[in-house]
Amino acid sequence: MLEGVSKGHPLFHSGYFNVKWLLLRENPNFGFRVKLKKKIYIIIFGTETPAGKMFDVALLTMIILSVTVVILESVRPLRESYHDLFTNVEWIFTLVFTLEYLLRIYSAPNPRKYITSFFGIIDLLAILPTYMGLIFDQSTFLLTIRALRLLRIFRVFKLGRYLKEAAILVKALQLSIHKIIVFFGAVLTLVLILGSLLYLIEGEENGYTSIPQSVYWAIVTITTVGYGDIAPVTVLGKILASIAMLTGFSIIAVPTGIISVEISKAVRSEKKSRAKSCSDCGHDTHDNDAVYCKICGKKL
């Protein structure tokens, strides 16, 4: 394919499609097939062209509609009244998504890489349940996994710039994970103690039929959810419940504080890493547009 092209030729420094597309420019008879793959690739994988952006917006719209259909189908009165309509619409969506999946494989520079990628696996899972529904009942409800494909919106609407901020948040969570585990262990011990005490105080006659049931009450109470399906009856039980509720208000902000501190540290670290540092005196708090060190005057 590259016969007659030297190793110094720019084609050897281009990507898979760049090589073929540049060869097309030099040899118009190279083939209609490569031209077609290029056009499909630009529309399906790219968002720089109006056609590419229109395709992705249309795809997102269809994903939302297909997930909505699956959700509505789970409502029994609607399913009984419009079963045939839901089935037909779902098959239309599935066939469209199947065609899109096959076109992505066909036009991808590296089909195997796309198939094993995160989005490639999600794209496959988005169409499998309908075909599985021919064999297994109720599997079509798994089609709500199509909602994961909405992650493409980050690429379509150019939200990738927020990934840096997301990286800071992930770093903060990683730094605080040990503290959160210790905090979670302390809360788990607390609810075990409260549940066991209330089981002894209230007993089975008041609805606390077991320690797991009492621990469930303790979790609901200490997290200030308060379903009210189980409530203490005795005076001592109500006192213990009051202590649990006040404790819940006291500790609910602890993990937030831990993560907030780590986020602040991560932000400061990020700013410090971007700051210009003087190689002579080591001062590292210069402005981004600084040319000379404000301490020793050496050129940065």
pLDDT single digits (tens) 140-166: 556 666 666 566 555 555 555 556 666
d(CA 251, CA 229): 23
**Predicted pLDDT of residue 65:** 86
> Which of residues 24 and 98 earns the better pLDDT score?
98
d(CA 144, CA 66): 8
Q: How many CB atoms lie within 10 A of CB 217?
A: 26
Average of pLDDT values for 96-118? Answer: 89
Q: Which residue has the tokens 């007659």?
A: 4
| Structure token digits, residue 63 | 């994903």
> Is 0.75 surpassed by the pTM of this model?
no
Per-residue confidence at 281, pLDDT binned at 50, 70, 90?
low
> Which of residues 181 and 132 earns the better pLDDT score?
181
Instruction: Using alpha carbons, list the distances in angstroms from residue 8 to 14, 16, 28.
Output: 12, 16, 22
Beta bridge partners of 292: 299
Beta bridge partners of 299: 292
Q: Which residue has the tokens 């109470």?
A: 221
d(CA 27, CA 134): 48
Which range among 28-32, 169-173, 228-232, 286-290 has the greatest average pLDDT?
Answer: 228-232
Average pLDDT, the chain: 76
Tell me the per-residue pLDDT of 184-218, one tens digit each, with 9 for 90 and over: 888 899 999 999 999 999 988 888 989 999 999 99
Tell me the per-residue pLDDT of 44-60, one tens digit each, with 9 for 90 and over: 887 677 888 888 888 88
d(CA 66, CA 147): 9
Indicate if the pLDDT at residue 18 is higher than 60. no
Average of pLDDT values for 96-119? Answer: 88
